[in-house]
Amino acid sequence: MKIAVISCIHGNYEALNEVLLDIDRHQVEQIYCLGDLVGYGPYPNAVVEMIRSLDIPTCQGCWDEDVVEGLNACECSYPSLLAEKRGRLAHEWTNQEIHPETRSFLAQLPLSLRDGNLCFVHGSPHSQHEYMLPDMHAFTAMERVLATGADTLFCGHTHIPYVRQLESGQLQVRVSSGQSSQRPNQQTSNFSAPLKRIVNAGSVGEPRHGRTNATYVLYDAETEQVTLREVEYDYQKTCAAIVEKGLPSIFAWRLARGLEFAERADDPTHVCER
Amino acid sequence: MVIWAILSGIEGNLAAYEAVLADIKRQRQPVEELYILGDIIAATPASANVIQRIRSPRDHEPEPQVCRGWWEEQLLILHGSGRTGEPTELIEYYGAEQVKALWDAIPRSTVNWIQSLDFGFFELDCLLIHGSTVSVSDELTPNTPPIQMLDRLMRMDANYLFCGRSGLTFQYEIQQGSITSSVTTLDHTAPPQATLVKPRQVIGVGNVGRIPGQATYTLYNPYANQVEFRTVRYGPRKGFQSI
């Protein structure tokens, strides 16, 4: 079975349309979406309506959560203060723009999805706000996959697609328990982890890999082959709509470059502790 | 030689705390730092006496450094300043009646002090915390999977993590490890890279007040990395004293 995984559409209807056409051309049997349907972009309602009408299983992203729950995350929810300032403006705009049925749809999204040995989350299994970057410590990355019980973990949130293979993981531990008056009970054991994979689906509507194309992934369940896809779309149309609808023009600027410099600042691994 | 005393879980048991303080005083090497890793209170009015005692150390006693524990977190939830809105865990573990008991047990005048407590301490290469880097509720035990232990250590890049949530005394050493990782992006494929793990430890520091008549705590020499678990028996049943 061939599946497509899309993420981080961020109200970019033009990009979503073009990605869905590309998916159509690859005879995909199932599409999964990793959330962040809204935020930054000009068409949050249209994007949600499209996902809902196509009955695409979707998990909740951090933006979807914030629009539903209110922006109650602490500032470390954003990787930098600059990103937070811009994010707040986008949040306020989106919050006013979305229809009640859009909000209701976002509210009922699950935090994760499972399909056999595949697991789908927005950020990480522990938090929608955690960035699983490709250079995350390999054991930390392995822990995130093992926490799901799956063999392959699909995530988004960073807006940059990658495939990471983790193998030959082993740890040697010695555990002593007991009290001073007793002989401690000491045990040595070895832990080994099987082959695991993390697949980041990139971003349909707000790519940050250095080009303007939308990104998503194809996965062949038979061969376990992952294909990172880049899809051209009329990003200028979305940029114009961002400006026209009164969203901060910085979002159009970065969409036209496929970059977000603010996200490179501070500590992207830090997670809000609500 | 610098010695730290690290304890957790007094849980409103002043006699147990006094017994531990007395044991600390008896040490041949003087204890310079006293860390209390949360759960100084429980749903008992005696908790107020423990708070008072901790905040007023006597002459020649080390000034206790206290961080927030699970019980403190439950209290703050009741007062609207916890990390969640509802005391779900308190009700789940101890029943709904304990909500009122905890509310009544702790004087309002001390809530601000409890709120000011740190989440944990990072001293030298040691993280001292009640639960773990994840939350006060995260219970690390000798049976916690190694990958989870390593994750908790690496979240703060600590070589030693002292915790008290389980109430157990244990020393969990990650002696060595390795893993191979390769990353493919749209633009290139990086060759597989091996990552090695340096030795790190999680230490369960015991529990002072939960078991009547028996307190456990930990002494640590941060320069020699020596851990010693102490068991202190106290009260009328101690030794050969009559009941």
Q: At A81, is the pLDDT very low, low, confident or very high (cuts 50, 70, 90)?
A: low
pLDDT, tens digit, for every residue of A202-260?
Answer: 999 999 999 999 999 999 999 999 999 999 999 999 999 999 999 988 889 989 999 87
Q: How far is A135 from chain B (nearest CA, A)?
A: 9
Q: Is pLDDT above 90 for B213?
A: yes
Tell me the chain B residues in contact with residue A207 when contact means C-beta distances shorter than 8 Å: none
Q: What are the b/e assignments for A108-122, b being 16+ CB within 10 Å?
A: ebebbbebeebbbbb
pLDDT value at position A179?
61
- How confident is the model over B218-238, as pLDDT tens digits? 999 999 999 999 999 998 765
Contacts of B216 in chain A (CB under 8 A): 179
In what helix (H) or strand (E) does residue A21 lie, and over which residues does it extend?
A: helix A13-24
Beta strands in chain A (DSSP E): 2-6, 30-33, 112-115, 118-121, 152-155, 162-177, 185-193, 196-200, 214-220, 225-231
Q: Do B181 and A164 touch (CB under 8 A)?
A: yes
A160, A174, A273 member nearest B83 (Cβ): A273
Burial class (CB in 10 A: 0-12, 13-18, 19+), B35: buried
ipTM for the whole complex: 0.88
pLDDT at A71: 60
Q: What value does the mean pLDDT take over residues B120-147?
A: 95
CB B141 within 8 A of CB B168: yes
Residue A260: its pLDDT value, please? 73
Residue of B27, B147, B155 to mutate, interface with A, max A Cβ within 10 Å? B147
Higher pLDDT, B242 or A47: A47
- Is B154 close to A168, i.e. CB distance below 8 A? no
Q: What is the pLDDT of residue A38?
A: 94
pLDDT in tens, B25-83: 999 999 999 999 999 999 999 999 999 999 999 998 999 999 999 999 999 999 998 88
CB contact under 8 A, A230 and B178: no
Residues of A in contact with B134 (CB under 8 A): 126
Q: Which of A110-119, A176-185, B34-43, B174-183 has the lowest mean pLDDT?
A: A176-185
Query: Worst-scoring range by mean pLDDT, A6-10, A126-130, B147-151?
Result: A126-130
Chain A residues 170-229 with CB within 8 Å of chain B: 170-181, 184, 188-189, 191, 193, 209, 215, 228
Q: How many CB pairs under 8 A join A and B?
A: 131
Which residues in chain A have Cβ-Cβ distances shorter than 8 Å to B135?
273
Domains of chain A: 2-165+195-264 (3.60.21.10)
Residue B57 is predicted with a pLDDT of 95
Check residues A120 and A63 and name the one with the higher pLDDT.
A120
Q: How close A229 gets to chain B, by Cα (Å)?
A: 8
Which superfamily, per CATH, for B3-233? Metallo-dependent phosphatases (3.60.21.10)
Percent with pLDDT over 90 in chain A: 72
Residue B186 Rama label (left phi>0; alpha psi -120 to 50; beta): alpha
Global pTM value:
0.86
Kindly identify which residue of chain B lies nearest to residue A208, measuring between CA atoms: B186
What angle, 0 to 180 degrees and rounded to 10, lies between the N-to-C axes of helices B70-78 and B97-105?
90
CA nearest to B38, candidates B153, B158, B163, B202: B163
Chain B residues whose beta carbon lies within 8 Å of the beta carbon of residue A160: 185
CB-CB under 8 Å, A274 with B83: yes
